[in-house]
Amino acid sequence: MTLNMSGQDGGYGWMVVAACVTTQIFLAPVMSMNGLLFEAKYKEIVATPTQISIFISAFLTAWNVSALFVGPLVKMRSARFVAFCGTAIASAGFVISAFASSVSDFVFVFILLGVGLGVLGTNSFLIIRQYFKRRVGLACGVFAMGVGSGNFFMPQVVKLLLSSAELKKNIILIYTGIHALSFIGVLLMRDFKPSKMDPAKEGGTTSQNPEDVEMMEDASSEVVEKLMDKDSDVVEKVVNKSSDVVDKLEDNSNKGQESGNCWCCQLSSCQKFTIFRMFSMINWSLLKRLDFLIMALGESVIFVSTLLYVFQMSHVCLEKGLSTEEVADILTVVGIMDILSRLGHGAVGDMACVNNFFRKPKLSYYLIICVTMASMIVGFAFSGTYMTILVFATLVMMWAGGTMVTFSLMYYETFGDDLPSCLGIANLFRAIFSFLIGPLFGLVKESTQGSSLELLFLAGLIFLASAVWIIHFCILRKK
């Protein structure tokens, strides 16, 4: 049995999904378990909570900004080349982190990790969308589950490494070697090439009989002979003019090739394609719409607050007195819940009871998810025992997974075909808020050591954004 290398909705497309999973399955879990992986390094450089928050802000900013350039890069080169670049950049981040000795070194490390994840994530969705048409939802679901599976088995791998005193000293270098397996996914990556099917198989024109083809050729030659006999001067003029046009086109193409060979011309055209054309493709007129600004700014605040919680969860668990083994077990349970919640929220969001009850069902369901998640974060902040921490951490991730599934549907429900522009502008807002909220979070954490007030700060931001949405869209509903 051979795989179809070029057909859509199957064949080698599933191998590409597996390749996309392989490139990210070791990188994505770093968000939740950075407290375990880099704990010794943080102590070595005496990193304060504010400085750790700056690391996270640098990661999120690099993640969102780098995603903007993936589409043009794929068009210029290939998805496989972009996957290699993303994997190489992330690997460089891990290698440098093993020898980092200052705060500035770790800022650079997290920028590299953020760029790697941003490039790989966006590239994966683009190539999966090329290989799948009817079953793109299933393919994206399998991809999300595959990447999410790293969140529940990689903490156990780190737990095993930390249990050995010798392995613990070189845990970052060992994890760098594990991440090198991601290059297997790069080798399996193949760009989509449409298959050249027989027109008869695609429902087009059927193949013709050779005898019919010969009859048509004889008839056409007879027509040409009659035209030549009727008015040979006119035909000769037409032939001469056509030959002149062909000569001019050949001269222009040769000139174009000669000028295109100049390296400076290639560089200028490359810059024009990647920068100016990319920004011209975005519908910036959306910024004039109040409903988009409120939605994009609020979603960006919620997105950054949610990921800050995910990054800081392992740190908070350690600060509450849990051992590294207990934290690893909590991260494993949370990882399982993350996968289940992404599948569950997608199904619940499509239910008739939700669609019939709300005027904007996707937006309304997203608001319900955010308010519930913020309430669970408050419960997690006040939990003190292992069991209560485990329960509330699991409940928070049960709703946090829903935000990752429904946010793009919310934009599409409101703005339709402007979805690419909505996501592009939203990425810019996320990058800005990552740089603003992260340091504020660190200052709150540093000034209130041990009180978990920083978690209440994140919950308050989510409540505030949700309240603004409710007020605004209730006013619109009255109108």
- Give one DSSP letter per residue of 197-233, joined into a string: --TTTTTSPPPPPHHHHHHHHHHHHHHHHHHHHH-HH
- Crossing angle (nearest 10°) for helices 290-319 and 361-382: 30
57 domain residue, yes or no = yes
379 domain residue, yes or no = yes
CATH number, residue 46: 1.20.1250.20
What kind and span of H or E run contains 335?
helix 324-349
Domain encompassing residue 68: 1-193
Residue 271 has pLDDT above 50, yes or no: no
pLDDT at residue 203 in the model: 43
Please tell me the least confidently modeled range out of 52-66, 264-278, 436-450: 264-278
Question: Is residue 235 very low, low, confident or very high in pLDDT (cuts 50, 70, 90)?
Answer: low
pLDDT at residue 268 in the model: 44
The answer to whether 299 and 423 are in contact (CB under 8 A) is no
Same domain, 184 and 288: no
249 domain residue, yes or no = no
263 domain residue, yes or no = no
Residue 298 has pLDDT above 50, yes or no: yes
- pLDDT > 70: percent of the chain: 71
- pLDDT > 90: percent of the chain: 11
| d(C-alpha 83, C-alpha 64), whole Å | 17
Residues in Cβ contact with 51 at an 8 Å cutoff, skipping those fewer than 6 apart: 103, 106, 442
Please tell me the pTM assigned to this model.
0.67
pLDDT at residue 360 in the model: 73
pLDDT at residue 11 in the model: 74
164 domain residue, yes or no = yes
pLDDT, tens digit, 9 for 90 and up, residues 285-295: 888 888 888 88
139 domain residue, yes or no = yes
Residues in Cβ contact with 83 at an 8 Å cutoff, skipping those fewer than 6 apart: 19, 20, 23, 120, 123, 124, 185, 186, 189
Two tokens at 33?
A: 């378990």
Could you say which of 159, 193, 227 is where a domain stops?
Answer: 193
Same domain, 183 and 310: no
pLDDT at residue 124 in the model: 81
Question: Which amino acid type is present at position 352?
Answer: A
Higher pLDDT, 7 or 436: 436
Two tokens at 245?
A: 């046009």
Residue 57 has pLDDT above 50, yes or no: yes
Same domain, 452 and 350: yes
**Average of per-residue pLDDT across 225-248:** 55
pLDDT, tens digit, 9 for 90 and up, residues 315-368: 888 888 888 888 888 888 888 888 787 767 666 655 544 555 566 777 888 888
Same domain, 329 and 456: yes
The answer to whether 38 and 282 are in contact (CB under 8 A) is no
Same domain, 185 and 300: no
pLDDT, tens digit, 9 for 90 and up, residues 363-413: 888 888 899 999 999 999 999 899 999 999 999 988 887 787 677 777 777
Same domain, 186 and 331: no
DSSP state of 286: G
268 domain residue, yes or no = no
Question: Which amino acid type is present at position 274?
Answer: T
Same domain, 164 and 302: no
The answer to whether 381 and 455 are in contact (CB under 8 A) is yes
Higher pLDDT, 222 or 328: 328
- Report how many domains make up the chain: 2
Could you say which of 173, 193, 213 is where a domain stops?
Answer: 193
pLDDT at residue 263 in the model: 39
Higher pLDDT, 74 or 229: 74
Could you say which of 193, 225, 257 is where a domain stops?
Answer: 193
Same domain, 189 and 287: no
Question: Is residue 245 very low, low, confident or very high in pLDDT (cuts 50, 70, 90)?
Answer: low
243 domain residue, yes or no = no
